[in-house]
C-alpha cells in the first residue's frame, strides 16, 4: 500500500558505453519492466580516459552500486573501469552486455550482486541464437 | 605492408581503434608507443585483453619504437602505431628521422587549457605548435576519428571550433 510518498529506486548498477548505448538500453529495460530506475547511464562521448574514469568513480561512490555494465570489452569505458576497480574489491564489471542480460539483472531481487550478475550473464549468452541456419 | 596509420589518441586502445579502424584496415598488429605503459606489465595486460586474439600488440618506448619502425613496415599485415599525446608523436617523428610521413589526430579530449577544435580534438597552444612543427618537417597531419569521416587538414583543424 502506497503511503503517498514516492520511494526512490535504489541504484544497483551503472551502464556505460558509446554514444547513447547506455540510455537506450536502460530505456528498453524500463519500457519492458518499469525497472529502469535501478540503473545510471553513462556515455563516453567527448571524454578522455581520465574524465571517464573520474566520472564513473564519482557515479559509483554516489550511487553505492556494486556492478558496472559496459558495451565493448575493448571500449574506453571498460578500460577506465578496469583501472578503477583495482582499488575497489567487490565491484563487478560485466562487458559486452545485451538487453536480455540487463533485463534478467533488473528482474532479480538477489541481493548478492555476484549471484545476480552470473545468472544474468547466463541468460544473456543463451539469448544469442541463430535462426534459419 | 606499410604502417597503415600513425594515430594520436588519448584513449590509446579502445573500440574506435580496435573495431572502427581495425576491421576495415584488416589490422594485424598495434604498436602502442608510451614510455609509461612500456614499463608496466599490468597496463600492458589491460590493453592486451582489449584486442581480439588474432591481433598482436607490441609495447614500446619512443626510442625502441623508432628503432623498430622499419621492421614493422616489413610485416606482411598492416598495423597501427598508436600514441596517447601530441608530444609523444613529436618525439617519435624526430627519433624516426623521416619514417613517419602521415599523422592522424584521432582523439585529444578536453582538459583545462585546451581549446575545442573538433568534437574530438581539443588543443593547447603548445599542442597546436607541436602539430605545426610536425607539418613543417613534411608530415601530413590530419584529424579524423573514424574511417568514414572526412580527414580534416591541419590548417582547417586549427581554424575550426566544435560548434561551427
| Residue B157, domain member (yes or no) | no
Q: Which among A48, A71, A82 has CB closest to B11? A: A48
More confident residue, B160 or B59: B59
Q: Which among B19, B49, B111 has CB closest to A48? A: B111
| Residue B18, domain member (yes or no) | yes
| Residue B43, domain member (yes or no) | no
pLDDT attached to residue B131 = 98
Q: Is the pLDDT of residue A3 over 70?
A: no
E strand intervals along A1-133:
13-17, 39-43, 67-70, 92-94
Q: Which among B14, B107, B110 has CB closest to A75? A: B14
Cβ distance of B49 and A73 shorter than 8 Å? yes
| Phi, psi torsion values for B115, nearest 5 degrees | -105, 135
| Residue B113, domain member (yes or no) | yes
Q: Name the band, by pLDDT with cuts 50, 70 and 90, for residue B21.
A: very high
β-strand pairing of B79-83 with B56-60: unpaired
| Residue B93, domain member (yes or no) | yes
Residue A71's closest CA among B14, B72, B98? Answer: B14
Cβ distance of B110 and A46 shorter than 8 Å? yes
pLDDT attached to residue B50 = 84
Q: Name the band, by pLDDT with cuts 50, 70 and 90, for residue A2.
A: very low
Query: pLDDT tens for residues A44-57?
Result: 999 998 999 999 99
Domain with B130, as residue range(s), is 3-26+58-148
Query: pLDDT tens for residues A94-126?
Result: 999 999 999 999 999 877 899 999 999 999 999
Q: Name the band, by pLDDT with cuts 50, 70 and 90, for residue B49.
A: confident
pLDDT attached to residue B102 = 97
| Residue B45, domain member (yes or no) | no
| Residue B83, domain member (yes or no) | yes
Cβ distance of B107 and A82 shorter than 8 Å? no
Query: pLDDT tens for residues A76-100?
Result: 999 999 999 988 999 999 999 999 9
Q: Is the Cβ–Cβ distance between B32 and B66 less than 8 Å?
A: no
Domains of chain A: 13-125 (3.40.50.510)
| Residue B88, domain member (yes or no) | yes
Global confidence as pTM:
0.86
The arithmetic mean of pLDDT across residues A57-72, rounded, is 95
**Whole-angstrom Cα distance, residue A80 to residue A49?**
6
- Write the CATH number for B106: 3.40.35.10
Number of domains in chain B: 1
Amino acid at each position: 500500500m502506497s503511503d503517498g510518498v514516492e520511494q526512490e529506486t535504489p541504484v544497483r548498477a551503472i551502464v556505460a558505453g558509446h554514444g547513447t548505448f547506455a540510455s537506450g538500453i536502460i530505456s528498453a529495460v524500463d519500457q519492458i519492466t518499469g525497472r529502469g530506475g535501478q540503473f545510471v547511464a553513462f556515455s563516453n562521448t567527448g571524454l578522455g580516459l581520465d574524465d571517464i574514469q573520474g566520472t564513473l568513480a564519482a557515479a559509483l561512490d554516489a550511487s553505492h552500486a556494486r556492478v558496472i555494465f559496459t558495451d565493448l570489452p575493448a571500449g574506453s569505458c571498460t578500460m577506465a573501469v578496469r583501472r578503477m576497480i583495482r582499488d575497489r574489491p567487490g565491484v563487478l564489471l560485466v562487458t559486452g552486455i545485451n538487453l536480455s542480460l540487463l533485463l534478467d539483472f533488473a528482474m532479480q531481487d538477489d541481493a548478492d550482486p555476484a549471484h545476480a550478475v552470473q545468472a544474468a550473464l547466463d541468460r544473456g549468452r543463451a539469448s544469442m541464437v541463430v535462426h534459419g541456419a | 605492408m606499410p604502417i597503415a596509420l600513425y594515430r594520436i589518441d588519448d584513449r590509446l586502445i579502445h573500440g574506435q581503434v580496435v573495431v572502427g579502424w581495425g576491421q576495415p584496415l584488416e589490422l594485424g598488429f598495434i604498436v602502442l608507443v608510451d614510455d609509461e605503459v612500456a614499463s608496466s606489465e599490468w597496463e600492458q595486460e589491460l590493453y592486451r585483453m582489449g584486442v581480439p586474439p588474432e591481433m598482436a600488440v607490441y609495447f614500446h618506448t619512443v626510442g625502441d619504437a623508432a628503432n623498430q619502425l622499419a621492421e614493422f613496415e616489413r610485416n606482411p599485415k598492416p598495423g597501427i602505431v598508436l600514441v596517447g599525446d601530441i608530444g609523444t608523436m613529436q618525439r617519435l617523428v624526430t627519433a624516426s628521422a623521416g619514417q613517419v610521413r602521415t599523422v592522424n589526430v584521432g582523439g585529444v579530449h578536453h582538459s583545462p587549457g585546451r581549446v575545442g577544435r573538433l568534437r574530438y580534438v581539443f588543443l593547447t597552444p603548445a599542442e597546436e605548435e607541436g602539430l605545426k612543427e610536425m607539418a613543417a618537417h613534411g608530415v601530413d597531419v590530419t584529424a579524423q576519428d573514424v574511417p568514414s569521416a572526412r580527414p580534416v587538414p591541419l590548417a582547417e583543424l586549427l581554424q575550426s571550433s566544435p560548434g561551427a
